[in-house]
Amino acid sequence: MGGLVALEGPDGSGKSTQLCLLREVLEGRQLDVVWTREPGGTVIGEQIRTVLHDLANDAMLPITEALLYSAARAQHVAEVIRPALARGALVITDRYAASTLAYQGYGHGLDIDMLRQITVLVTGGVIPDLTIYLDLPAERGLERKLVDRSAGQGEWNRMDQQALVFHRAVRAGYLEMAQAETERWLVLDADDTMQAIHQQIMARIEPLLT
């Protein structure tokens, strides 16, 4: 048994809920499963996460973001993922390299090939056996704002429009990556019921447990 599974999906896609459900099921069995996340998963990675998430750092360039996420990933692979895979564990990570390609590449427009090269450098070629993408229309994340707007409350400004364009590009990126590697990706409709999504995830993870 063993392998690397990455869970990807936007805010509001139910990613955390699915991780919880998965954890409940897998912890009931005698299995070596490592639960981790990006950015983070290591002491240095968590420090990098603080810099990335600090609202005061609004001058951060996309390339700086890409390099910081990648630096955190290098630590994550070396300290957590590679040793766990070497002993035959199943590693389940909340986000992995596809996030950098989707957000910094497709979203912010950084060169995808350059990002792929950086990814190979920091991961040493460790790629997920399975990437699960919980797919949600970009509008959903901005839904509340849209509701306010149609009710004549709040305003729809240039930033919101930019956010929508950005999240649409991120989503298109995920779908393109999934399309290019269907055997390594599982795209699920985040609008499905919690249980239906969970069952589809379990069906794909089960073979990695034996």
Least gap, CB of 91 to ligand TYD (angstroms): 15
In the shown chain, the binding pattern of residues 103 to 142 toward ligand TYD, with x for contact by CB under 6 A and - for none, equals xx--------------------------------------
**The tokens of 78 are what?**
């070396």
Residue of 5, 22, 38, 208 that binds ligand TYD (CB under 6 A): 38
Tell me the CA distances in angstroms from 18 to 2, 21, 41, 53, 196, one per residue in order: 19, 5, 19, 23, 11
**Distance in Å from the first CA to the final CA of the chain:** 5
2/105 with CB nearer ligand TYD: 105
- Which residues, in sequence order, are CB contacts of 94 under 8 Å at separation 6+? 7, 15, 16, 19, 36, 37, 38
Q: How far is the CB of 72 from ligand TYD (least distance, A)?
A: 8
* Options 76, 95, 145, 167; binder of ligand TYD; rule CB under 6 A: 95
User: For ligand TYD, how many residues bind (rule: CB under 6 A)?
Assistant: 11
Q: Which of 21, 48, 69, 145 binds ligand TYD (CB under 6 A)?
A: 69
From residue 113, give the alpha-carbon distance in Å to each of 55, 64, 101: 29, 17, 9
Kindly report the length of the chain. Answer: 210
144 token code pair: 């509340």
| Among 36, 42, 93, 99, interactor with ligand TYD by CB under 6 A | 99
The binder of ligand TYD chosen from 2, 5, 33, 39 (CB under 6 A): 39
Q: Hey, what are 142's tokens?
A: 């901005």
Residues at the contact surface with ligand TYD, assessed by CB under 6 A: 11, 15, 38-39, 69, 94-95, 99-100, 103-104
